[in-house]
């Protein structure tokens, strides 16, 4: 076997359009005879991919709107899980058949991917392999942001905007693990109902409630001075409104711009209120502080194995249905993570 199935971006554009074999007129195509990557070094490991996660960054990258623009053509994809298929002669950490997960700059939307052994993490026994493929980026982003950057601690108030998405659900679970008081803002009765069952302290439906007033009323009822950490993967008008409930010395975590609008955080108010604004580009830690990512993912995997956090897979698709997966993200139909699952009985429209 020398070829594999892979999703390939041949030109920048909308990845939600129908895709087919070949056909460079589409932004993404499915190639059934793409070359299987070779082991590149003595410490390389080839992984047969079981599951790979879709993140909003993948969507922006294919549109050509992400901060990193790889040369065309490229195989999209970042976090993934699978089993070891082949190892280089100097590999000591893994053997063929081991369950692993990791993340990459590109390349996981395929049946096989190659990584150095130091970039892979063993998946603990009893941890669902598909769930492990959803862990690195969403939970890694939230963990580094909340634990390493904002130093969120027990008794502090965490406000999460856009809480029904992958990073939002990760943030609220991490907040509960560290003992924070967690407030959420999401849109739609179905999402609100699901989130309330997670034991969250306060959930606000932005489609039917006065968001800030609701948060203020909750803070008053609990005799709390304000929000200590604002976790914001959405940005836009709601960010500006949320600043009205921030306490003195609050931490603002800028995670992304799902709304398409980057707000202006007033420096004069940040000065008076002693706010700290953290820009969080998780992927850059792989270059500048890889040790932080390694420790973060090890802790997250241990939390999964101990049942402290769970990973909700909202939708699962096969590789040829990648456009449907991107449509679910674009249309905001997701409560949790969207996955591409390989060699699995789960069908395109499964809602897990």
Tokens found for residue 329:
């993200």
- 201 & 115 share domain: no
- 337 & 260 share domain: no
Look at strands 99-103 and 79-87 and give their pairing: antiparallel
Q: Whole-prediction pTM value? A: 0.83
**What percent of the chain lies above the pLDDT cut of 70?**
92
d(CA 135, CA 9): 24
Name the residue range of residue 47's domain: 3-135+311-351
Confidence class of residue 334 from pLDDT cuts 50, 70 and 90? Answer: confident
The most distant pair of C-alpha atoms in the chain lies apart, rounded to whole Å, by 64
- 114 & 195 share domain: no
Look at strands 3-9 and 79-87 and give their pairing: unpaired
Residue 303 inside a domain? The answer is: no
Interval 238-294: pLDDT, tens: 888 899 999 999 999 988 665 456 667 888 999 999 999 998 888 888 889 989 999
Residue 304 inside a domain? The answer is: no
The larger pLDDT score, comparing residue 197 to residue 147, is at 147
- 110 & 143 share domain: no
The larger pLDDT score, comparing residue 307 to residue 195, is at 307
Q: How many domains does the chain fold into? A: 2
DSSP secondary structure string for all residues of 212-281: HHHHHHHHHHTT---EEEEEESS-SHHHHHHGGGEEEEEEEEE---TTS------HHHHHHHT-EEEE--
Give the single-character DSSP code of 8.
E
- 142 & 278 share domain: yes
Is there a contact between 24 and 44 (Cβ–Cβ < 8 Å)? no
**What percent of the chain lies above the pLDDT cut of 90?**
63
- 93 & 162 share domain: no
- 170 & 182 share domain: yes
Interval 126-138: pLDDT, tens: 788 998 999 998 8
* H-run or E-run covering 129: helix 129-132
DSSP β-bridge partners for residue 114: 46
- 123 & 163 share domain: no
Q: What are phi and psi of 264, to 5 degrees?
A: -95, 120
Is there a contact between 112 and 85 (Cβ–Cβ < 8 Å)? yes
Residue 345 inside a domain? The answer is: yes
pLDDT average, residue stretch 201-215: 90
- 150 & 254 share domain: yes
């Amino acid at each position: 076997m020398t070829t594999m199935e892979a999703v390939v971006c041949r030109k920048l554009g909308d990845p939600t359009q129908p895709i087919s074999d070949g056909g460079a007129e589409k932004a993404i195509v499915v190639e059934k005879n793409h070359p299987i990557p070779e082991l590149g070094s003595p410490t390389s490991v080839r992984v047969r991919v079981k599951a790979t996660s879709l993140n909003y960054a993948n969507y922006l990258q294919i549109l050509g709107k992400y901060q990193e623009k790889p040369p065309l053509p490229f195989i999209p994809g970042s976090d993934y899980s699978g089993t070891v298929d082949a190892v280089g002669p100097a590999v000591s950490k893994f053997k063929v058949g081991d369950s692993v997960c990791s993340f990459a700059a590109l390349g996981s939307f395929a049946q096989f991917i190659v990584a150095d052994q130091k970039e892979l993490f063993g998946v603990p026994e009893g941890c669902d392999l598909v769930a492990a493929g959803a862990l690195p980026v969403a939970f890694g982003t939230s963990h580094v942001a909340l634990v390493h950057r904002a130093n969120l601690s027990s008794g502090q108030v965490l406000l999460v905007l856009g809480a029904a998405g992958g990073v939002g659900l990760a943030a609220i679970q991490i907040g509960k693990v560290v003992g924070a008081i967690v407030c959420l803002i999401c849109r739609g009765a179905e999402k609100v109902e699901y989130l309330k069952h997670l034991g969250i302290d306060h959930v606000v439906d932005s489609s039917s409630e006065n968001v800030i007033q609701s948060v203020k009323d909750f803070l008053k009822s609990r005799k709390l001075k304000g929000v200590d950490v604002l976790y914001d993967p959405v940005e836009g008008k709601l960010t500006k409104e949320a600043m009205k409930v921030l306490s003195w010395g609050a931490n603002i975590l800028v995670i992304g711009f799902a709304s398409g609008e980057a707000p202006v955080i007033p420096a004069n108010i940040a000065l008076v209120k002693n706010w700290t604004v953290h820009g969080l580009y998780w992927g850059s830690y792989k270059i500048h502080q890889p040790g932080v990512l390694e420790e973060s993912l090890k802790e997250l995997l241990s939390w999964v194995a101990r049942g402290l956090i769970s990973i909700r897979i909202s939708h699962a698709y096969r590789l040829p249905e990648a456009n449907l997966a991107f449509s679910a993200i674009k249309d905001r139909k997701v409560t949790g993570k969207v996955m591409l699952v390989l060699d699995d009985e789960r069908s395109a429209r499964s809602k897990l």
